[in-house]
Amino acid sequence: MIIAPKIRGFICTTAHPEGCAAHVQEQIDYVKSQPALANAPKRVLVVGSSTGYGLASRIALAFGGQAATVGVFFEKEGVENKTASAGWYNSAAFEAAAAQEGLYAKSFNGDAFSNEMKQRVIAAIKADLGQVDMIVYSLASPRRTDPVNPEIVYKSVLKPIGSSFTNKNLNTDKKLIETVTIEPANEDEILQTTKVMGGEDWKLWIEALSAGGVLAPGFKTVAYSYIGPKLTWAIYTEGTIGRAKLDLEKAAAEMNGQFGAGTALVSVNKALVTQASSAIPVVPLYISLLYKVMKAKGLHEGCIEQMVRLFATHYGAPNGPTLDEKGRVRIDDWEMRAEVQDEVAKVWDSVTTENLDEISDFAGYQKEFYRLFGFGLAGIDYEKDSDPVRPIPSLG
């Protein structure tokens, strides 16, 4: 079939197999252009490995550190006349590239929050790798089915806490700057968001892996967070998702108590266009302005550059990662530089629908958004028939 993008609000319901493969290959090429990772873990589990930061983590550790990787994700398989989701094609392409280099790769498609998935992954690690040295936890999900009482489904919301929040918002579909008002979350919504995006499931993974006897001595685990500038705090850091991220930090502290200091870390990453971030109010406008400023200063990074920096500069350092006063890794440091934030704040007040193209990098935002689904990549003939059915050979 001829595969074209179909945008519905802030998601694209189609994905292009060759385009996604080219996107994965670009990331592999970047990793290979960098020095090999020092002190790299050799057996890695990535939970949320098919898109965004998780996919970039898997690529960085496999192609930069020669790691054997196990990946877990929740993606849709393609059928005749209907494309798979982008993460499916990304994972198929990743596996093909890993196989070519003789790198072990095994993937699981299903609910990472479930006990069953944890047990299936543990069995595969036991059988194929023995143990894992690094667990990357990079889930972003709108809901979580309780692993013990499956009739309970927690839903996460992106809302402020305490009072309503009004600010500029970019309608990325219609290319309009609008004003958005979001009513505050109630206690139940805060709790449910924490259940989905907090640290409970991360800890359940590590405890299950420990009980299964598949954690190598001195293993490490990392999960990702975001802080950002004051102008997004009401909706992010001080909102429901920020509460969940605090819970992630609490889980890291608890695991460090259980398994030894420095075992579990939270890495605060840069704001980037991913399927998850495009759903957050205000953030796409902030990203469009941020990209313009960071590109002009030569400071722009994508997921793969961020992950190479995390595993090279921090985990690869002889004394391990450098931490902030709250014990977190900060690879959002370039984004948070005063020279960057002052410029973003300056243009924030003046941005309108009319001057959007001029003072923001909306074009860059949009291009990146399409690329997430395999569209707009160089060298791909989008007029050519493409088979939407692509196997992921190792699928467990």
Residues engaged in binding ligand NAD (CB under 6 A) = 48-54, 72-75, 87, 111-113, 138-141, 224-226, 269, 271-272, 274-277
Distances 396 to 54, 123, 255 between C-alpha atoms, Å:
19, 10, 28
**In angstroms, what is the minimal distance from the CB of 57 to ligand NAD?**
9
Q: Which residues, at least 6 apart from 303, have a Cβ–Cβ distance to it below 8 Å?
A: 27, 52, 53, 55, 56, 272, 274
Q: Which is nearer to ligand NAD, 216 or 323 (CB)?
A: 323
Q: Which is nearer to ligand NAD, 10 or 216 (CB)?
A: 10
Q: Which is nearer to ligand NAD, 240 or 275 (CB)?
A: 275
**In angstroms, what is the minimal distance from the CB of 78 to ligand NAD?**
15
CA distance linking residue 174 with residue 168, whole number of Å: 14
Separation of CA 255 from chain center: 22
Give residue number: closest CB to ligand NAD. Answer: 52
Nearest Cα to 275, choosing from 311, 303, 295? Answer: 303
Separation of CA 64 from chain center: 19
**In angstroms, what is the minimal distance from the CB of 267 to ligand NAD?**
8
Q: Which is nearer to ligand NAD, 74 or 291 (CB)?
A: 74
CA distance linking residue 106 with residue 395, whole number of Å: 6
**In angstroms, what is the minimal distance from the CB of 80 to ligand NAD?**
23
- What pairing do the DSSP bridges indicate for beta strands 7-8 and 11-12? antiparallel
**In angstroms, what is the minimal distance from the CB of 383 to ligand NAD?**
28
Distances 154 to 68, 157, 207 between C-alpha atoms, Å:
33, 10, 21
**In angstroms, what is the minimal distance from the CB of 148 to ligand NAD?**
16
Largest CA distance in the chain: 59
Alpha helices (H) in 141-261, listed in sequence order = 187-197, 200-211, 230-233, 240-259
Q: Which residues, at least 6 apart from 183, have a Cβ–Cβ distance to it below 8 Å?
A: 159, 164
Alpha helices (H) in the chain, listed in sequence order = 17-33, 52-65, 86-100, 115-128, 187-197, 200-211, 230-233, 240-259, 283-296, 303-309, 338-350, 356-359, 362-372
Active-site residue among 236, 286, 291, 315?
236
**In angstroms, what is the minimal distance from the CB of 59 to ligand NAD?**
13
Q: Which is nearer to ligand NAD, 110 or 216 (CB)?
A: 110
Radius of gyration of the chain, Cα coordinates, nearest whole angstrom: 20
* Annotated catalytic residue 236: yes
Two structure tokens written together for 380: 């791909």
Q: Which is nearer to ligand NAD, 362 or 384 (CB)?
A: 362
Q: Which is nearer to ligand NAD, 108 or 165 (CB)?
A: 108
Q: Which residues are catalytic?
A: 236
